[in-house]
Structure 1
Amino acid sequence: MGFHTYDVDRADALEDPDRFRYCSAEELRAALAVDTDATVADLGSGTGFYTDVVAPHVARCYAVDVQAAMHDLHREKPVPASVEFVTAGVADLPFADDALDAAFSTMTYHEYASDAALAELSRVVRPGGRVVTVDWTATGTGESGPPTDERFALGAAVSAFESAGFTVERAQTRVETFLLVARR
């Protein structure tokens, strides 16, 4: 797999509203299914495209990205009051055990997928909490997103989450992407 980070010089593409064709704001919030007092994290938040559609509906939304430059770009927009920026990799999150009610990632799982990252999610997401993952599928055409050899098939992602102690509640393949909802 690629295990790369998104090129900051191309970050303007992350603000393209056409991205909602892969996962709408409503679908993401419905999959998270959290209360308004929830604490959630956007894993690989980039410029905050999806962070900003979740954050107004929760008490705290951590925008987690390994690249501080992405946070700088996010700050150039109006940032919802509930957003807190965290510069970290998913395998090394600076949160206490069971600190998150939920976490989500959109088009970034292929960048951090590892046993260490999923173990870390298992540590920081509270029992009963959800992790929602929308990512490019290995069975896609490759017309959008990373090359298909840098992607995961839905079955591999399901197996990885189950091996990390999650229960997969929903797993769906789409044309270029998959949606996975796992509960700790």
Structure 2
Amino acid sequence: MGFHTFDPAGADRLDDPSRFRFCSREELLAALDPDPSATVADLGSGTGFYTDEVAPFVDKLYGVDVQSEMHERYRENGVPEAVELVTANVEELPFADDDLDAAFSTMTFHEFASDAALAEIRRVLTPDGRLVTVDWSASGDGDAGPPVAERYDAADAASLLEDAGFSIARVDERPETLLVVATA
């Protein structure tokens, strides 16, 4: 699919509450099933739209984004106390082995999915740590999100995760998005 990033000039779109039509807070939390003492990472946190929704339910949440401009915007909006912002590429996460109880990505998997990134996520997750991926689906029409050619479908995303050593717990293909829950 190729690495690319979201243009920070369009960051206002990332704070649009209509994004919940693609993945609600409740759906994300149900898939993540976080323990209140958990340490979690939002991979591709952007301006913190979904980070803010998960933060009240965990002890520590790292908002990971490769673009410092996204963190600047997030700081302008206000960062919850439980959140620490980390500027890093998913292929080089600054966490120790087994450091995270869970991780999630919303609408960013297509931006970072590679063998190296998936191996890195698996490295930093505890044994049985959960990874929740919600992303634009290749089965969608492309009216929202990236071009269809830049997307994976649910089966392909699950296959990539299995190849990286994850066990797949759930795979959902929806009209525009996919949801995959995997464990390390």
State TM-score, norm by structure 2: 0.98
Deviation at 1:78, TM superposition (A): 2.4
Unaligned segments of structure 1, at least 5 residues: none
Distance 2:2 2:142 in 1: 14
Q: What CA deviation, in whole Å up to 9, does each residue of 1:20-52 have, x standing for no partner?
A: 011111111111111111000000000000000
**Shift >6 Å, 4+ stretches:** none
Distance 2:34 2:46 in 1: 22
Partner of 1:138: 138
Distance 2:182 2:2 in 1: 24
Q: What CA deviation, in whole Å up to 9, does each residue of 1:153-184 have, x standing for no partner?
A: 11111111001111110000000000000011
Distance 2:64 2:78 in 1: 17
Look up the SS of the partner of 1:75 in the other structure. Answer: helix
Partner of 1:66: 66
Partner of 1:49: 49
Deviation at 1:131, TM superposition (A): 0.3
Partner of 1:179: 179
RMSD: 0.7
Partner of 2:35: 35
Distance 1:34 1:57 in 2: 7
State TM-score, norm by structure 1: 0.98
Deviation at 1:57, TM superposition (A): 1.0
Unaligned segments of structure 2, at least 5 residues: none
Distance 1:19 1:124 in 2: 28
Look up the SS of the partner of 1:172 in the other structure. Answer: strand
Q: Percent identity?
A: 62
Deviation at 1:72, TM superposition (A): 0.4
Letter in 1 for 2:87: T
Aligned length: 184
Partner of 2:88: 88
Look up the SS of the partner of 1:29 in the other structure. Answer: helix
Letter in 2 for 1:117: A
Distance 1:44 1:128 in 2: 22
Letter in 2 for 1:89: N
Partner of 1:4: 4
